Chain A
Amino acid sequence: MEMTNNEYDKLTKKMSPDTKLYKTLPKAFFIGGLICCLGQALFNLYTFWGLNEQNARSVTSITLVFFSALLTGLKLYDKIAKHGGAGTLVPITGFANSVVAPALEFKTEGFILGTAAKMFVIAGPVIVYGIITSVLYGIILYLVQLGG
């Protein structure tokens, strides 16, 4: 076969079907939007019960994480996510699923080296780079304060 890697790559691209954007995009939009509406409803409920805005937001996060963990345990979250795509990935429920799924999966290797060690195998980078960015932001803020 006389073919360079470049030509082969072109052939591969030609033969590989693309994702059907007209299907994935509306589903991601709709399911993501619904999860946010659920968040809004919870937030309204908690403020109605007298929580301040900050705490209501925190309790909303906790509740959404709980729902996501439960649905992951019931093997439903991945079924929704098959359709939802980024709609179930981007909300905090997706973050929770990425923690709970390995926790459940790797329990066969024990609760220390399996569940606990693998818990942040997907979500770890999110925390690392989220925190690092916030630390940098804090240092800049501090320096600006010093200067001002």
Chain B
Amino acid sequence: MATLIKDGTISMNTCPSVSAFAAAVGKMEGEGPLANCFDYIADDVTLGESSWEKSESKLQQIAFSTALSKGNFSEKNIDVLFAGDLLNQCVSSSYGARDTEIPFLGLFGACSTMAESLGLASVFVDSGAAVNAAAVTSSHFCSAERQFRLPVNYGGQRTPTAQWTATAAGCAVVSPHGNAPYVRAFTIGKIKDMGITDANNMGAAMAAAAYDTISRHLCNTNQSIDNFDLILTGDLGKVGRDILMELFKKDNVDISEKHKDCGIMLFDPKKQDVHAGGSGCGCSASVLCSYILGEIRQGKLNKVLFAATGALMSPTIVQQGESIPGISHAVELSSC
């Protein structure tokens, strides 16, 4: 039975298992450093669909169905599906799931949605509200670009702090029993707005939220950085990572050895022109649901704090001159 420790941190008493996981990515992500870890690489990023929104739905379906088949589940075994993406009204998720009969809960946490959905799925399974719960999120470069920025073929220059929305999807199935990884705790993020207004510097807008959630999780669970093998943030990118290091340095904590960022891991900064790094719901989802969960399952990583980060803005409100609020949810994963 999941219980609240304090201040947004929930501990799992049965430590449910992430029994199956899968990641599906686009061509560019499939040429990155983690290429060998993905279950599916789409050479054609349209995935044969007539719009980018449908392409993203398809990518999410592929991640979902691959995870089910890897865990020998059928759709009937899944009691609830938590799904999210970046698009207005979460259409990639709802259209991706419209052919299924699974009870569905759509989520929006911007790029933090993978941690949000995985955390909620774990709480449901741990408390008995579901036997098996699935968490799936996706993003697509082109669908995000046309909604948040400019038409894909518009000739514009990106600033050095800009991030590249990943074309990727990841799915994790949480079950009461099964192999590692196990979910031990979940810290719900608080909205942190430090007054950043530059929509091309999302790393900066999210770093404060990541700092808050990570330090709150450590404090509420009576742990320190030393208890973890890896502190994995969602998609802070290079700028956000540097700010996070500085924020911890002010507390005399050095996390640089233990910290990695999905946005930096997904692409090769030397060969791939992604500026500050990757972003999007699919970025942390695909890194987590391939390489990271795989390493934990094999026992190469024992304890990981997965803190996905999201910038909760819309183009409308940024045009109105508002600053960008960030959020970060953290899921503690372990191999035993």
Bound-complex Cα distance A49 to B171 (A):
64
Q: What's the minimum C-beta distance from B266 to chain A, rounded to whole angstroms?
A: 19
Asked if A9 is at the interface of the complex by the 8 Å CB criterion, the answer is yes
Query: By the criterion CB–CB under 8 Å, are A94 and B155 in contact?
Result: yes
Query: By the criterion CB–CB under 8 Å, are A98 and B154 in contact?
Result: yes
Q: What's the minimum C-beta distance from B133 to chain A, rounded to whole angstroms?
A: 33
Interface residues of A in 33-53 (CB under 8 A from B): none
Bound-complex Cα distance A81 to B211 (A):
37
Query: By the criterion CB–CB under 8 Å, are A24 and B157 in contact?
Result: yes
Asked if B74 is at the interface of the complex by the 8 Å CB criterion, the answer is no
Bound-complex Cα distance A94 to B194 (A):
35
Asked if A67 is at the interface of the complex by the 8 Å CB criterion, the answer is no
Asked if A5 is at the interface of the complex by the 8 Å CB criterion, the answer is yes
Bound-complex Cα distance A24 to B156 (A):
13
Query: By the criterion CB–CB under 8 Å, are B204 and A16 in contact?
Result: yes
Which of B50, B157, B159, B195 has a CB less than 8 Å from the CB of A9?
B195
Asked if A12 is at the interface of the complex by the 8 Å CB criterion, the answer is yes
Bound-complex Cα distance A81 to B157 (A):
7
Please report whether the interface of chain A is mostly helix, strand, loop or mixed according to DSSP.
Answer: helix
Interface size class of A (residues with CB under 8 A): 35 or more
Asked if A104 is at the interface of the complex by the 8 Å CB criterion, the answer is yes
Query: By the criterion CB–CB under 8 Å, are A97 and B239 in contact?
Result: no
Asked if B208 is at the interface of the complex by the 8 Å CB criterion, the answer is yes
Residue among A16, A82, A88 with the highest chain B CB neighbour number at 10 A: A16
Q: What's the minimum C-beta distance from A87 to chain B, rounded to whole angstroms?
A: 10
Given A16-B161, A16-B239, A19-B160, verify A88-B155 contact (CB < 8 Å): yes
Asked if A17 is at the interface of the complex by the 8 Å CB criterion, the answer is yes
Per-residue interface assignment for chain B, residues 150 to 167, with 1 indicating a CB less than 8 Å from any chain A CB and 0 otherwise: 111111110111000000
Chain B residues near A9 (CB, 8 Å)? 194-196
Q: What's the minimum C-beta distance from B330 to chain A, rounded to whole angstroms?
A: 16
Interface residues of A in 71-92 (CB under 8 A from B): 72, 75, 77-78, 80-82, 84-85, 88-89
Chain A residues near B334 (CB, 8 Å)? none
Chain B residues near A100 (CB, 8 Å)? 153
Asked if A139 is at the interface of the complex by the 8 Å CB criterion, the answer is no
Bound-complex Cα distance A100 to B159 (A):
23
Query: By the criterion CB–CB under 8 Å, are A97 and B155 in contact?
Result: yes
Asked if B79 is at the interface of the complex by the 8 Å CB criterion, the answer is no
Q: What's the minimum C-beta distance from B90 to chain A, rounded to whole angstroms?
A: 19
Query: By the criterion CB–CB under 8 Å, are B243 and A102 in contact?
Result: no
Which of B51, B52, B204 has a CB less than 8 Å from the CB of A12?
B204
Interface residues of A in 1-26 (CB under 8 A from B): 1, 3, 5, 8-9, 11-12, 15-20, 24
Chain B residues near A88 (CB, 8 Å)? 155
Asked if A113 is at the interface of the complex by the 8 Å CB criterion, the answer is no
Interface size class of B (residues with CB under 8 A): 20 to 34
Query: By the criterion CB–CB under 8 Å, are B155 and A84 in contact?
Result: yes
Asked if A101 is at the interface of the complex by the 8 Å CB criterion, the answer is yes
Which of B51, B150, B157, B159 has a CB less than 8 Å from the CB of A82?
B157
Asked if A135 is at the interface of the complex by the 8 Å CB criterion, the answer is no
Given A8-B208, A15-B242, A16-B201, verify A101-B154 contact (CB < 8 Å): yes
Bound-complex Cα distance A27 to B83 (A):
44
Q: List 26 A-B contacts (CB under 8 A).
A: A3-B247, A5-B195, A9-B196, A11-B243, A11-B246, A12-B201, A12-B243, A15-B239, A17-B239, A72-B153, A75-B153, A77-B155, A78-B152, A80-B155, A81-B155, A82-B155, A82-B273, A84-B155, A89-B155, A97-B155, A98-B154, A101-B155, A102-B151, A104-B153, A105-B154, A106-B146
Given contacts A1-B208, A78-B153, A102-B151, 20 further A-B contacts (CB under 8 A): A3-B208, A8-B195, A8-B208, A11-B247, A12-B196, A12-B204, A12-B239, A15-B204, A16-B160, A20-B160, A72-B153, A72-B155, A75-B153, A82-B157, A88-B155, A97-B153, A98-B154, A101-B150, A101-B152, A105-B154
Residue numbers of B with Cβ under 8 A of A are 50-52, 146, 150-157, 159-161, 194-196, 201, 204, 208, 211-212, 215, 239, 242-243, 246-247, 250, 273
Top 7 nearest A-B pairs (CB, nearest first) are A81-B155, A105-B151, A5-B195, A101-B154, A101-B151, A8-B194, A12-B204
